[in-house]
Amino acid sequence: MSKLIKGKCLCGDVKYEIENRFEQFYICHCEQCRKITGSAYASNLFGDPRRFNVICGLEKIKRFDHDVRGFTKAFCIVCGSGVPYLNTKGDSIVVPAGTLDGEPNFTQKNIIFHKEKANWSEQNEIDRYFDGFPF
């Protein structure tokens, strides 16, 4: 049995823990993930529901289910951050990787819906790099 890893939303009202042993890590470029993240792609880890626990803020979590591709998003109603949720099949906890407070251990990392990726998400035409804010 491996260790637990903790995570939280940006405002900290929602906190959770889960076993730090994930089967799959999916970077998804699909249109739905772009919309829901407002960004180039979603980064989700799939973990074991038997070793997942919401430490606090369960009442602050809102869930949205979209019928396209069985797509789901759960988020903190205070700050809007994505938070983990049980997938519709009920066999995995989907953890938005950016909410973790440590380094996840995972078996496989995959890019999915690569054909749908936005052209602007390519990192090869960057004009300048800044270490922080650009001012």
Residues that bind Zn ion (CB under 5 A): 9, 11, 13, 28, 30, 33, 76, 78-79
Q: What is the DSSP letter of 21?
A: -
C-beta of 37: minimal distance to Zn ion in Å? 9
Least Cβ distance, residue 40 to Zn ion (angstroms): 11
User: In terms of CB distance, is 18 or 83 closer to Zn ion?
Assistant: 83
Q: How far apart are CA 101 and CA 99, in angstroms?
A: 7
- In eight-state DSSP terms, residue 89 is T
Measured distance CA(67)–CA(119) in Å, rounded: 26
Give me the least distance between CB of 68 and Zn ion, in Å please.
Answer: 10
Given a contact cutoff of 8 angstroms between Cβ atoms, the answer to whether 93 and 84 are in contact is: yes
Tell me the residue type at 94: V
> CB of residue 2 vs Zn ion: minimum separation in angstroms?
27
Closest CB to Zn ion among 3 and 56?
56
Residue 78 pairs in a beta bridge with none
Task: Report residue 73: phi and psi, to 5°.
Answer: -140, 135
Query: Is the Cβ of residue 79 or residue 97 nearer to Zn ion in the bound state?
Result: 79
Nearest approach in angstroms of CB 71 to Zn ion is: 7
- Residue nearer to Zn ion on the CB measure, 47 or 96: 96
Nearer to Zn ion, 3 or 69 (CB): 69
Cα separation, 57 vs 74, in Å, equals 13
